[in-house]
Chains A and B, each alone.
Chain A
Amino acid sequence: MKKVFSTICALALLASMTACGNTTPGTDDNASTPDTPASQADDKSSEADKPKDGKKTTLKIYAFTEEVPGMLKKYLEMNPDFAAQYDLDVTVVNTTNGEYQPALDQALSAGGKDAPDLYCAEAAFVLKYTQGVASSYAAPYKDLGIDDVEGKIKDAKLASYAVDLGTNPSGDVVGLGYQATGGAFIYRRSIAKDVWGSDDQKTVEEAIGAGSQSWDKFFDAAEELKGKGYAILSGDGDLWHAVENSSDAGWEVDGKLHIDQKRENFLDLAKKLKDNGYFNDTQDWTEAWYTDMKGEGEKGVLGFFGPGWLINYTMAGNCGGEKPGEGTYGDWAVCTPPVGFFWGGTWLMCNKDSQNKEAVGKMIEWITLDTSDTGLQYLWANGTYDPANPTKDVVASEVVMSKSDGKVAFLGDQNMFDVFTECNKFANGKNLTPDDEKINSKWRDQVRQYTAGNKSRDAAIADFKSDVTDELGIEAE
Chain B
Amino acid sequence: MRYPSSAEALKKEVPALAKPLKGISYAKYGYLFSIPFIVIFLIFWLYPTVYTCVLGFTDCKGFGNTSWHILENPLDNFRDVLKNNSFKVSLKNTIIIWIMNFIPQIAIALLLTAWFTSHATDIKGKGFFKVVFYMPNIITAATVAVLFRTLFSYPIGPINDLLMSTGIREAAYNFTVDKKAAKLIVAFIQFWTWYGNTMIVLISGVLGISPDIFEAAEIDGANSVQTFFKITIPNLKTVLLYTLVTSLVGGLNMYDIPKLYQDGGPDKATLTTSVFIQQQAFSGSYIYNKAAAASMIMFLIISVCSAVLFWIMRDKDEAKIEKEKKLARKAARKAERSF
A and B touch in the complex (CB under 8 A): yes
- Which A residues contact B (CB, under 8 angstroms)? 1, 5, 8, 15-16, 18-20, 22-23, 26, 30-31, 33-34, 97-98, 101-102, 105-106, 108-109, 133-134, 136, 280-283, 286-288, 291, 297-298, 435, 437-438, 445-446, 448-449, 452, 454-455, 463, 466-467, 470-473
Known A-B contacts A23-B51, A470-B86; the reply to A448 vs B283 at CB < 8 A is no
Provide the residues of chain B in CB contact with A105, threshold 8 Å.
Answer: 63-64, 284, 286
A284 to chain B, nearest CB (A): 13
Provide the residues of chain B in CB contact with A16, threshold 8 Å.
Answer: 50
Known A-B contacts A18-B42, A286-B153; the reply to A102 vs B267 at CB < 8 A is no
Known A-B contacts A287-B156, A288-B155; the reply to A20 vs B63 at CB < 8 A is no
Contact A282 B42 (CB under 8 A): no
Check: B265 CB closer than 8 A to any chain A CB. Answer: yes
Check: B204 CB closer than 8 A to any chain A CB. Answer: no
Q: Which residue from A452, A467, A473 sits with its C-beta under 8 Å from B174?
A: A452
B147 to chain A, nearest CB (A): 14
Q: Which residue from B46, B66, B154 sits with its C-beta under 8 Å from A288?
A: B154
Question: Can you report 6 A-B residue pairs in the complex whose CB atoms are below 8 A from each other?
Answer: A1-B323, A23-B50, A105-B284, A281-B155, A282-B155, A297-B155
Known: A19-B42, A452-B178; 16 extra A-B contacts, CB below 8 A, are: A15-B42, A23-B50, A34-B67, A105-B64, A105-B284, A106-B282, A108-B64, A280-B155, A281-B155, A286-B153, A445-B266, A446-B267, A467-B86, A471-B285, A473-B61, A473-B285
Contact B283 A102 (CB under 8 A): yes
- Which B residues contact A (CB, under 8 angstroms)? 1-2, 42, 46-47, 50-51, 54, 61-64, 66-68, 84-87, 150, 153-157, 174, 176-179, 263, 265-268, 276, 279-280, 282-287, 290, 319, 323
A108 to chain B, nearest CB (A): 8
Provide the residues of chain A in CB contact with B283, threshold 8 Å.
Answer: 98, 101-102, 438
The B interface, classified by DSSP as helix, strand, loop or mixed, is loop
Q: How far is the CA of A439 from the CA of B216 in the complex (A)?
A: 67
Contact A30 B68 (CB under 8 A): yes
Contact B153 A449 (CB under 8 A): no
Contact A438 B155 (CB under 8 A): no
Q: Which residue of A lies closest to B62 (CB)?
A: A133
Provide the residues of chain B in CB contact with A98, threshold 8 Å.
Answer: 263, 283-284
Q: How far is the CA of A33 from the CA of B50 in the complex (A)?
A: 20
The A interface, classified by DSSP as helix, strand, loop or mixed, is helix
Q: Which residue of A lies closest to B283 (CB)?
A: A102
Contact A298 B155 (CB under 8 A): yes
A275 to chain B, nearest CB (A): 14
Q: Which residue from A30, A297, A445 sits with its C-beta under 8 Å from B66?
A: A30
A139 to chain B, nearest CB (A): 16
Contact A472 B155 (CB under 8 A): no
Contact B174 A134 (CB under 8 A): no
Q: How far is the CA of A288 from the CA of B174 in the complex (A)?
A: 12
Q: How far is the CA of A287 from the CA of B154 in the complex (A)?
A: 9
Q: Which residue from A34, A452, A463, A472 sits with its C-beta under 8 Å from B177?
A: A452
Q: Which residue of A lies closest to B160 (CB)?
A: A288
Provide the residues of chain B in CB contact with A473, threshold 8 Å.
Answer: 61, 285, 287, 290
For chains A and B in complex, what number of residue pairs have CB atoms within 8 angstroms? Answer: 112
Q: How far is the CA of A286 from the CA of B283 in the complex (A)?
A: 22
Q: How far is the CA of A198 from the CA of B266 in the complex (A)?
A: 41
Known A-B contacts A26-B51, A30-B68; the reply to A102 vs B46 at CB < 8 A is no
Q: Which residue from A5, A287, A297, A466 sits with its C-beta under 8 Å from B157?
A: A287
Q: Which residue from A20, A101, A466 sits with its C-beta under 8 Å from B85?
A: A466
Contact A454 B285 (CB under 8 A): no
Provide the residues of chain A in CB contact with B150, threshold 8 Å.
Answer: 287
Contact B66 A34 (CB under 8 A): yes
Give the 8 A-B residue pairs with the shortest CB-CB distance, closest first: A470-B86, A33-B66, A19-B50, A133-B63, A452-B177, A109-B64, A288-B156, A101-B284
Contact A471 B276 (CB under 8 A): yes
Contact B177 A133 (CB under 8 A): no
Contact B156 A467 (CB under 8 A): no
Q: Which residue of B lies closest to A460 (CB)?
A: B267
Q: Which residue of B lies closest to A473 (CB)?
A: B287
Provide the residues of chain B in CB contact with A463, threshold 8 Å.
Answer: 267
Q: How far is the CA of A98 from the CA of B265 in the complex (A)?
A: 14
Contact A471 B68 (CB under 8 A): no
Q: Which residue of B lies closest to A105 (CB)?
A: B63
Contact A449 B2 (CB under 8 A): no
Q: How far is the CA of A283 from the CA of B153 in the complex (A)?
A: 10
A216 to chain B, nearest CB (A): 28
Provide the residues of chain B in CB contact with A452, threshold 8 Å.
Answer: 174, 177-178
Q: How far is the CA of A109 from the CA of B86 in the complex (A)?
A: 28
A9 to chain B, nearest CB (A): 11
Contact A445 B265 (CB under 8 A): yes
Provide the residues of chain A in CB contact with B61, threshold 8 Å.
Answer: 473
Provide the residues of chain A in CB contact with B47, threshold 8 Å.
Answer: 19, 22
B288 to chain A, nearest CB (A): 11
Q: How far is the CA of A166 from the CA of B81 in the complex (A)?
A: 36
Contact A134 B63 (CB under 8 A): yes
Q: How far is the CA of A134 from the CA of B47 in the complex (A)?
A: 29
Provide the residues of chain B in CB contact with A23, threshold 8 Å.
Answer: 50-51, 54
B196 to chain A, nearest CB (A): 29
Q: Which residue from B50, B156, B178, B280 sits with its C-beta under 8 Å from A471?
A: B280
Q: How far is the CA of A297 from the CA of B290 in the complex (A)?
A: 45
Q: Which residue of A lies closest to B66 (CB)?
A: A33
B223 to chain A, nearest CB (A): 41
Contact B177 A287 (CB under 8 A): no
Contact B155 A471 (CB under 8 A): no
Q: How far is the CA of A22 from the CA of B157 in the complex (A)?
A: 54
Q: How far is the CA of A109 from the CA of B68 in the complex (A)?
A: 17
Provide the residues of chain B in CB contact with A449, threshold 8 Å.
Answer: 177, 266-267
Q: How far is the CA of A262 from the CA of B191 in the complex (A)?
A: 44
Provide the residues of chain A in CB contact with B179, threshold 8 Å.
Answer: 454
Q: Which residue of A lies closest to B281 (CB)?
A: A102
Provide the residues of chain A in CB contact with B64, threshold 8 Å.
Answer: 105, 108-109, 133-134, 136
Most central of B46, B155, B157, B287 by chain A CB within 10 Å: B155
